[in-house]
Structure formats: structure tokens, C-alpha cells
């Protein structure tokens, strides 16, 4: 993890979340499943005025009520307590009673009407011979409220079928306007500004709309484990709050810059100024966005005013971008490193060194690996000095050290190099690992076998150096570095399996025939680009003797 001394903002302890439970009551209709939602009071301390699923905090009585609830095999004590809390809250807020009579029949509207919603539920159920149907309440997801919020909850989102013959009636104190709504309709009304819902509700409805029936939802929950778990993070985008789950592209950057969850980091892609990620790391994104470059090529400055800076990937020959790099470093650039020779990474290196020299400072050496004979004409690069695998570049100033270690990673390009900032356990991945897309492996300079081996090498580096974050040449910072690399390798191997299947299905086929099969999940307009990586897979398959 980055050193605390290099974080941009003073850290604080987020509010400790309170245990709670929420339940999605579902029913089938000819148009698909519907979920019961209610509007919270405008004076509520959490999500005022928003439409929510019924639920609330878990109290001591819920823990003590296990003997008054049905339990299914595999439902542990924690899940049982959560289900009891959900049943209780459904009754208190909406008058919906998930319970069975002593003879096993479901409680009906008369049973619910015979209980006082303002008195403790469990003693009343005991007096009436009712047992809570906690065995019919299943875990769908688990959310922990965002770290930046002043009131937080640790809450499973549970699901249950709405009992037949009962109608929801809001308590008119905390909850109002009970509404049955299809997930897709709720999302559409929210997008139109007619139905206020908060982030976890939005993401839950987005996933819920994929199910055709209540049975399908309950079947998906049979494992007793949440289908997803999330504690979102928030940043600023286009001047507004934007929240992200762990799998979304901006989450890792927010985790690195604001690990305590404070809402301080702007996620807008700026080409006119640097973005500070840490005290010793700045990102400057070149104004060359496109299909292959995403928001643009990321250049990085590592170091500080006392130590001087190392520039990583100065980008294409873009005078304005080079001016910004020079200015952000105060002209004090000690070395320039190119991760590889492609035209959006290395052409700016020597012109940037010229700027430093013209300013009266020692000319910084341009480092990296020279382009190999397999490189295309537009990707020619000759450094002032070739780096050695494992070589360290060290900056020191005011008692602080910043060390970049070279890790040779051929695959995307034959001369590709990644860099590890050792003191902060950060990986600068160039194009080997990207955020939001997979990199192109384009033979003959690209080699799929080398690419996969380099992923293994980076996995080993993550384990050895405790690397948690990856700073790619395109896109936001990635978190969970070991997991990101493992998922990327799994994706590549799954794609290779599809290529092999295509080759065996159409042995005399052309690349165009195979790409239509192996990349059927990619828009056809991208197939010409996909063919380049598919060729690398084909060569790897043939070299391994698989066909």
C-alpha cells in the first residue's frame, strides 16, 4: 500500500456501520417480477424521500428469537438473525407478515390484522402460535454503506416471496406510498427524475431485472452466499457525486487516493493539467483519446520537488503535453522511461529531454528497451541506455526515497517494460495491463506466449512486493492488483479456448471466419482489431501443438 506520508489528504476513521437487514418482497406478474418499495419520510436521517425496500437495524430481540423462527438447512445463526430482522421490519413498516400458523399454513391478512404493529412482534406471534418464516428469506447481496457517509449500515439485501392474500399498508410514519414496481420501470422512472432511489437500490434493481420469475431469483440465492458484496466509493465527475462498485473502473483509483473514503477526488479526464494521485505521483493524460487509447495516453511523474522526478511514458510528439509534463515537474526531470516503443508512448521522450536541457539542467537519460527488429516502422525507439531487468532508479530528497524497479514484460511489445515503485508498492503497467479493456497483442512484435508468461511474472511481483494498485498507460488506477492480473489471464485463456474451438470447427477457415466465432461477444466493427490479437492466439495454439 502507498506510504501514509504520500497520501494527499489527512485520513479519518469512517463511521462504524450498524448491523441492519433489508428485504425485497417479490411477486410474479404477466409482465415479469415486481418488487415492493416504499418512500421514506422527508425527515428521515438516512435517504430522506427516497424509495427503498423495507428494512432497518438489527436489535437484541432478533438475536434472541431463533426458537420462534423456522430455519432451513445451511442457514447459520447470522443469516437467521438477519432474516428475523427482515420479517419484523416488513411487519412494522408495511404490515406484511412472513409467518406460519402452528399447522404449517401461511399466515393470512386476518392473522396480520390481529397483531399490533406498534408493539413487539415476537411476543404477539408466540401468543398466537405463529412462527416466523425465516427459512423463506434468502440472501441476495450484501452492502456496506459508503465510507464517506455520516450514517452507515452493514446490511444484507434479502429476498422473499410476498405472502398470498396480504396487502402492504405503510406505517405513515417512517414509510409512505407502498408501490409494486418492475425493476426496469423503477430504473426508467428514476432516470426521468420521477422516482428517487439511492445507489445500492439502483445497482440491485439493475441486477434484479435480469430474472424472469421469483423462482429464478430464489434459485440463484440457494448457495446461502450473497451474489455480490460491495462497499462503494465516491468521487466527483462532471461536478456531481459519482459512486462505484468494486468491479467498476474508477473504484481502484478512489481506493488509492482516498483510502478512508472521503469524497475529495475528481475523476474527470483532464488534458490541460496534471491529476495528483499521491504526493509523489502525478498523472498527465495526453489529448489523444480514441478507440485504441481510451481517454488518452497516461504519462506519470514520480518524485517530488526535493527529489526531482522520473517521467514515465512521455507519450506522442505532442508539444502541449510535453510542456505540461515539464511544467508539472518544475523542469527537474532526472530520467525518462518508456515502457515500450509504440507511437503513443515513446516519441515524446527525446523532445522532453531537449526541453530540460534547454532550461539549463542536466539532460535526463531516456531509458527503456530498444525496439526489436519485429517492431513496425511507426514503433521505432532507441533509448540513450537500455535498462537491465530488475534495475532500480532511485530518487532521494529531504530524507525521502522513491525507487522504481524495472520488470521486463514482453508480450504486448517485444521491448515492453513495467515499473514497480517499491516504497509504495505500485505497478506502472504500461500497456500490459489496462483498465476497462484488454490490450492488443499484435504479431510479430506481440507474442501471446510471452504475454501470458509476463502476466505470471507480474503476479509474482505482486506477491513479493505486496502490490495492491496498478497504474496503467490508459484508464484509471486499478485496485486489487493480484486479482486484476488473475482475471486478465483467465480472460485471455478463455478467449484462446474460443479461438481453438473456432479453428477446430472450421479447419480451412480464414481469420475472418474464425474471428466471427471467437469474438462473437465483440461488436463486428472491432473485429479488424480483434484479428490482430486472434493471430497471436492462433500462433500460440499452433506452437503448443494444440492443432
Q: Rounded to an integer, what distance in angstroms lies between the CA atom of residue 278 and that of residue 282?
A: 7
| DSSP letter assigned to residue 538 | H
Domains (ranges, CATH) in the chain?
18-224 (3.90.79.10), 274-482 (3.60.15.10), 494-543 (no CATH)
CA distances from 333 to 217, 305, 309, 313 (A): 57, 10, 5, 13
**What sign has the CA pseudo-torsion 300, 304, 305, 306?**
negative
pLDDT at res. 444: 96
Cα–Cα distance, 141 to 9 (Å, whole number): 32
Q: With CA atoms as reference, report the closest residue to 474 among 379, 382, 339.
A: 339
Contact in structure between 343 and 378 (CB atoms under 8 Å): yes
Q: Which of 145, 148, 166 is nearest to 156 (CA)?
A: 145
Identify whether the C-beta of residue 51 lies closer than 8 Å to the C-beta of residue 195: yes
| pTM for this entry | 0.93
Measured in whole angstroms, the distance separating CA 108 from the mean position of its chain's CA atoms is: 43
Between CA 265 and CA 262 the distance in angstroms is 8
CA dist 35 and 96 (Å) reads 13
Peptide bond into 444 cis (omega under 30): yes
Angle at 436 between CA 434 and CA 438, to 5 degrees: 55
Cell of 110: 386476518
CB atoms within 10 A of CB 310: 24
Question: Residue 419 in contact with residue 472, Cβ under 8 Å?
Answer: no
Angle between helices 481-505 and 448-465 (to 10 degrees): 160
DSSP 227: S
Q: Counting Cβ atoms within 10 Å, is residue 482 exposed (0-12), middle (13-18) or buried (19+)?
A: middle
Place of cell 532507441: 382
Distance separating alpha carbons of residues 354 and 322, to the nearest angstrom: 11
How far does CA 6 lie from the centroid of its chain? 23
59/438 Cα distance (integer angstroms): 47
As given in the structure block, the three cell numbers for residue 328 are 508539472
- Written as one string, the DSSP assignment of 339-402 is S---TTTSTTHHHHHHHHHHTTSPPPPEEE-PPPTTS-GGG----SEE--TT-EEEEEETTEEE
What pLDDT, on the 0 to 100 scale, is given for residue 402?
98
Candidates 154, 172, 175; CA nearest to 58 is: 154
What is the pLDDT, as a whole number, of residue 493? Answer: 97
CA quadruple 89, 91, 93, 95: dihedral, nearest 10: 170
pLDDT tens, residue order, the chain (547 aa): 899 999 999 999 999 999 999 999 999 999 999 999 999 888 777 778 899 999 999 999 999 999 999 999 999 999 999 999 999 999 999 999 999 999 999 999 999 999 999 999 999 999 999 999 999 999 999 999 999 999 999 999 999 999 999 999 988 877 888 999 999 999 999 999 999 999 999 999 999 999 999 999 999 999 999 999 999 999 999 999 999 999 999 999 999 999 999 999 999 999 999 999 999 999 999 999 998 899 999 999 999 999 999 999 999 999 999 999 999 999 999 999 999 999 999 999 999 999 999 999 999 999 999 999 999 998 999 999 999 999 999 999 999 999 999 999 999 999 999 999 999 999 999 999 999 899 999 999 999 999 999 999 999 999 999 999 999 999 999 999 999 999 999 999 999 999 999 999 999 999 999 999 999 999 999 999 999 999 999 999 999 998 8
Amino acid at each position: 500500500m502507498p506510504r501514509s506520508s504520500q497520501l494527499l489528504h489527512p485520513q479519518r476513521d469512517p463511521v462504524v456501520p450498524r448491523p441492519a437487514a433489508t428485504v425485497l418482497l417479490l411477486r410474479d406478474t404477466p409482465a415479469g417480477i415486481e418488487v415492493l418499495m416504499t418512500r421514506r419520510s422527508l425527515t428521515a436521517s438516512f435517504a430522506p424521500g427516497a424509495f427503498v425496500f423495507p428494512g432497518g437495524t438489527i436489535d437484541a430481540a432478533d438475536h434472541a428469537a431463533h426458537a420462534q423462527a423456522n430455519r432451513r438447512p445451511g442457514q447459520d445463526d447470522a443469516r437467521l438473525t438477519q432474516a428475523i430482522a427482515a420479517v419484523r421490519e416488513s411487519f412494522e413498516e408495511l404490515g406484511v407478515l412472513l409467518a406460519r400458523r402452528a399447522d404449517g399454513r401461511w399466515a393470512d391478512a386476518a392473522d396480520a390484522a390481529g397483531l399490533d404493529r406498534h408493539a413487539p412482534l415476537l411476543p404477539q406471534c408466540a401468543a398466537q402460535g405463529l412462527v416466523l418464516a425465516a427459512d423463506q428469506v434468502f440472501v441476495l447481496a450484501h452492502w456496506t454503506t459508503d465510507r464517506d457517509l455520516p450514517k452507515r449500515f452493514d446490511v444484507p439485501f434479502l429476498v422473499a416471496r410476498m405472502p398470498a392474500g396480504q396487502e402492504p399498508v405503510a406505517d405513515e410514519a417512517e414509510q409512505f406510498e407502498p408501490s409494486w414496481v418492475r425493476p426496469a420501470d423503477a430504473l426508467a422512472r428514476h432516470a426521468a427524475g420521477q422516482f428517487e432511489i439511492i445507489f445500492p437500490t439502483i445497482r440491485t434493481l439493475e441486477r434484479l431485472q435480469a430474472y424472469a420469475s421469483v423462482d429464478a431469483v430464489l434459485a440463484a440465492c440457494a448457495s446461502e452466499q450473497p451474489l455480490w458484496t460491495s462497499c462503494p466509493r465516491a468521487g466527483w465527475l462532471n461536478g456531481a457525486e459519482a459512486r462505484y462498485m468494486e468491479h467498476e473502473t474508477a473504484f481502484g483509483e478512489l481506493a488509492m487516493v482516498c483510502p478512508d473514503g472521503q469524497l475529495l477526488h475528481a475523476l474527470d479526464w483532464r488534458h490541460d493539467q496534471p491529476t495528483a494521485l499521491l504526493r509523489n505521483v502525478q498523472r498527465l493524460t495526453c489529448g489523444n483519446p480514441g478507440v485504441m487509447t481510451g481517454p488518452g495516453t497516461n504519462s506519470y511523474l514520480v518524485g517530488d520537488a526535493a527529489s526531482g522526478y522520473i517521467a514515465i511514458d512521455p507519450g506522442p510528439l505532442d508539444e502541449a503535453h510535453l510542456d505540461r509534463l515539464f511544467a508539472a515537474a518544475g523542469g527537474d526531470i532526472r530520467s525518462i522511461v518508456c515502457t515500450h516503443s509504440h507511437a503513443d508512448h515513446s516519441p515524446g521522450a527525446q523532445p522532453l529531454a531537449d526541453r530540460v536541457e534547454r532550461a539549463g539542467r542536466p539532460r535526463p537519460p531516456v531509458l527503456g528497451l530498444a525496439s526489436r527488429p519485429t517492431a513496425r516502422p511507426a514503433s521505432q525507439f532507441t533509448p540513450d541506455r537500455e535498462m537491465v531487468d530488475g534495475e532500480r532508479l532511485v530518487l532521494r530528497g529531504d530524507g525521502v526515497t522513491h525507487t522504481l524497479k524495472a520488470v521486463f514484460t514482453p508480450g504486448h511489445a517485444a521491448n515492453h517494460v513495467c515499473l514497480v515503485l517499491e516504497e509504495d508498492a505500485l505497478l506502472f503497467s504500461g500497456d500490459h495491463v489496462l483498465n476497462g479493456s484488454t490490450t492488443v497483442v499484435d504479431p510479430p512484435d506481440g507474442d501471446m506466449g510471452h504475454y501470458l508468461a509476463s502476466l505470471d511474472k507480474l503476479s509474482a511481483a505482486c506477491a513479493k512486493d505486496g502490490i495492491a494498485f496498478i497504474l496503467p498507460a490508459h484508464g484509471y488506477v486499478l485496485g486489487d492488483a493480484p486479482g486484476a492480473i488473475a482475471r486478465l489471464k483467465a480472460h485471455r485463456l478463455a478467449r484462446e479456448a474460443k479461438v481453438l474451438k473456432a479453428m477446430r470447427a472450421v479447419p480451412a477457415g480464414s481469420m475472418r471466419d474464425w474471428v466471427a466465432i471467437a469474438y462473437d461477444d465483440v461488436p463486428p466493427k472491432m473485429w479488424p482489431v480483434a484479428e490482430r490479437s486472434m493471430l497471436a492466439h492462433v500462433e500460440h495454439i499452433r506452437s503448443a501443438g494444440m492443432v
